[in-house]
Amino acid sequence: MNEYSNRTDNLFKGFQRKRLGQSFMPRQASLMLCLALGFGAVLPKAHAENVAAAHQFSGNATLQQQSKVAKGVVTDSHGEPLIGVSVTEKGTNNAYVTNVNGEFELRLSSANAQIVVSYVGFLPQTLKATTNMRIVLKEDSKALGEVVVVGYGAQKKANLTGAVTSVDVNKSLTSRPIADIGRGLQGVVPGMNVRVPTGEVGSDPLIKIRGQIGSIEGNNAPLILLDNVEIPSIQVVNPNDVESISVLKDAASASIYGAKAAFGVVLITTKNGAKSNRLEVNYSNNFSFQDPARKLEMGGIDALQYTLDAQINRGAPLPAGGFWRISAESLQRMREWQEKYGGSVSWDDPVKYGRDWEVIGGQKFGYRIYDGVKAMVRSWAPSMTHNLSVNGKSGNTSYNIGLGYFSQDGMSRTAKHDDFRRYNASLSLQSELNKWVTVRMNSIYSDRNKRYPGVGTTASDPWLYLYRWSPQFPIGVTSDGNAIRELLTNWEQPIPITVKTNILILTLA
């Protein structure tokens, strides 16, 4: 056939076509054919047979295409479309998200595929994929029925309008060996950043909820409330006394607690008495240890080689170095010392003149490399926790008594004192006088004692000198039975810094 056959060859390919009566059909006739298909005009017999074949092909292709596409609408129980619902082909990563009208269209890899429909706050569904689906998601009543402490009381999640996160206390605090609640909240609450500023024991964690920088001169820390009473530090609370924790993260919390709540609120509720008429006595303990999070490695002979090279490159006179001098000859002696004594001389063995160092031309040259990290940092430090609680109920009066002790040693090897101790006591009483009046009394006592090594007579902190001094400086060793005046001798003197904090909180409602 001519032009007409060429234009319709793709449409009728694979089908046996009957030749039309005329051997030539211009473009106008082809256009009329299309219009006739659209408006249902009567065609000649020859045309009708070809159109029937084309319609059959189009129908088969459409049916084949529809069997591989899932289309539909997702709504809630009230018929409102849900935006952002995840529609995933089961067993694959093939997924689609509903648009503003709740509609989706997902091309599937199999005609018999199933789709999984999921959305936050709703129960997921697994359905067989079709081309005209209307999916109604049901609310997760278990999640919406969870009670959350917020403001001056508690309410269900279903009634919340602000950004509130409820913490699973048993999972986050009770089952972990943590020093305080702040460290237990690390990585638990979305949007909350908890950072421990130093490795010093007893240091308060820094908590940020609404950004890292919120005020040029003011404080952007959240408001921390214990039974609706503000506390200066989250370390005051014994994790074992906590019943629930809620975090208010949006600005709506300021409408209840004022300007102090502009950067969020952490609400901590302590345990009350038993629910039934009985007496319960519980004791728990935990023994653990801590070690350095990563290995600390200081520069050795290679670092001293850099010092010598820098001195040569800038054209300065040799030898290089400060109190302890470095030359090409002394570096060679260091390498020889490592080969001869590196495996036999321990890091804390006494210093020997002639073997470890010499005075040449009135200048000191050291050949032994000292390990300041081993001299200053312990390989591990113990900690322990003891908790005793008594709770019960008698008639309309319930009570809870809690006692706690926490002890943690620091990582300083030579300091006289590097530790943290905390003693906690709590008492909670609740009595229902009648169905209109309930009297509550809570008492919290916390005694914190923190001791750490002071700077002593050095010009700066010994940790700075660990990085600042050359590895040629003797550290953690003696000479002829006498202590060498170096940074650790200041820590060994009985001058620890002691910080004691006692807090007593009484509430009556």
C-alpha–C-alpha distance, residues 36 and 21, integer Å? 18
Tens-digit pLDDT profile for residues 74-133? 999 889 999 999 999 998 989 999 999 999 999 998 888 999 999 988 899 999 999 889
Decide if 288 contacts 382 (C-beta within 8 A).
yes
Q: How far is CA 138 from the centre of its chain?
A: 31
Cβ proximity of 347 and 379 under 8 Å: no
**307 lies in some domain:** no
240 touches 184 (CB < 8 A): no
Beta-bridged to residue 280, according to DSSP, are 391
pLDDT at 251: 75
Identity of the residue numbered 25: M
The domain that contains 259 carries what CATH number? 2.170.130.10
244 close to 202: Cβ distance less than 8 angstroms: no
57, 114: one domain? no
Instruction: Tell me: do 245 and 150 sit in the same domain.
Output: yes
Range of the domain at 98: 69-141
What does the DSSP 8-state code read for residue 412? B
Residue 332 has a pLDDT of 95
263 to each of 163, 220, 255, 422, how far by Cα in Å? Answer: 13, 6, 12, 28
Distance CA 347, CA 343 (A): 10
Contacts of 123 (CB under 8 A, 6+ apart): 137, 138, 139, 140
Is residue 485's pLDDT more than 90?
no
Position with higher pLDDT, 158 vs 137: 137
Is 507 contained in some domain?
Answer: no
Instruction: Report whether pLDDT(495) > 80.
Output: no
Query: Helix or strand or coil: residue 252?
Result: helix
> What pLDDT does 63 receive?
39
* pLDDT for 412: 84
Based on the domain organization, do 82 and 128 belong to the same domain? yes
The pLDDT of residue 325 is above 60: yes
Split at pLDDT 50, 70, 90, the class of 29 is very low
Report the distance separating Cα 71 and Cα 129, nearest Å.
8
For the record, the structure tokens of 288 come out as 């653990």
Residue pair 272/280 in contact (Cβ under 8 Å)? The answer is no
| CB-based contact 180:242 (threshold 8 Å) | no
The answer to whether residues 229 and 505 touch, using CB atoms and an 8 Å cutoff, is yes
Peptide bond into 232 cis (omega under 30): no
Rg (CA), the chain: 39
Domain count for the chain, please give it.
Answer: 3
Q: What is the DSSP letter of 229?
A: E
Give the position of tokens 């709540």. Answer: 261
pLDDT of the residue at 147: 53
Query: What pLDDT is recorded for position 403?
Result: 95
pLDDT, mean over the chain? 79
Span 41-91, pLDDT tens digits: 333 444 434 434 444 434 444 434 444 899 999 999 889 999 999 999 998
Write down the pLDDT at residue 31. Answer: 37
* Side-chain-facing half-sphere of 467: CA atoms under 13 Å: 5
* Dihedral Cα 32, 34, 35, 41, nearest 10 deg: 90
- Boundary (domain end) residue, out of 85, 117, 141: 141
Mean pLDDT of 204-229: 81
Q: Of 142-151, 293-302, 437-446, 489-498, which one has max mean pLDDT?
A: 437-446
pLDDT at residue 214, as a whole number: 65
Same domain, 153 and 257: yes
Q: Are residue 160 and residue 264 in the same domain, yes or no?
A: yes
Helices (H), 258-323: 301-313
Single out the residue of 78, 130, 79, 124 nearest to residue 104, CA to CA. 130
Q: Are residues 81 and 112 in the same domain?
A: yes
Q: What percent of the chain has pLDDT over 90?
A: 28
Look at residue 312 in the predicted model and tell me its pLDDT: 94
pLDDT reported for residue 120: 83
Our separate counts of H helices and E strands in the chain read 12, 28
Give the residue from 92, 110, 141 where a domain finishes.
Answer: 141
pLDDT band at 159; cut points 50, 70, 90 = very low
Residue 250 confidence class, pLDDT cut points 50, 70, 90: confident
Instruction: Note the pLDDT tens digit of each residue in 271-321.
Output: 887 777 888 899 989 898 888 888 888 888 999 999 999 999 999 999 998
In a domain, 446, yes or no: no
Q: Is residue 266 part of a domain?
A: yes
* Alpha carbon distance 138, 49 (integer Å): 52
Look at 63 and 493; give whichever has higher pLDDT.
493
One domain for residues 94 and 150 = no
CB of 405 closer than 8 Å to CB of 448: no
CA distance 253 to 162: 8
Same domain, yes or no: 130 and 161: no
Q: Are residues 184 and 239 in the same domain?
A: yes
Say yes or no: 34 and 46 in one domain. yes
pLDDT of residue 40: 38
pLDDT 10s digits, 402-449: 999 999 998 888 777 889 999 999 999 988 888 888 898 889 999 999
- The CATH number assigned to the domain holding 89 equals 2.60.40.1120
Secondary structure (H, E, C), 109-125: CCCCCEEEEECCCECCE
Domain contains 442: no
The per-residue pLDDT for 435 is 81
The answer to whether residue 48 sits within a structural domain is yes
Residues 150 and 262 in one domain: yes
Checking DSSP bridges between strand 265-270 and strand 223-226, what pairing results, if any?
parallel
- Give the end of a domain, one of 212, 239, 270: 270
Strands 438-453 and 496-508: antiparallel
The β-bridge relationship of strands 242-248 and 164-167 is antiparallel
Please tell me the number of Cα atoms within 13 Å of 170 on its side-chain side. 0
CA distance 140 to 124: 9
Name which residue leads in pLDDT, 391 or 14: 391
Query: Does pLDDT of 36 surpass 50?
Result: no
Structure tokens at 183: 């460290």
* Cis? peptide before 350, omega within 30° of 0: no
pLDDT for the residue numbered 252: 76
Is there a single domain that holds both residue 250 and residue 226?
yes
| pLDDT at position 366 | 93
Q: Answer yes or no: is 383 within a domain.
A: no
User: Judging by beta carbons within 10 Å of its beta carbon (0-12, 13-18, 19+), is residue 99 exposed, middle or buried?
Assistant: middle
157 is a domain residue: yes
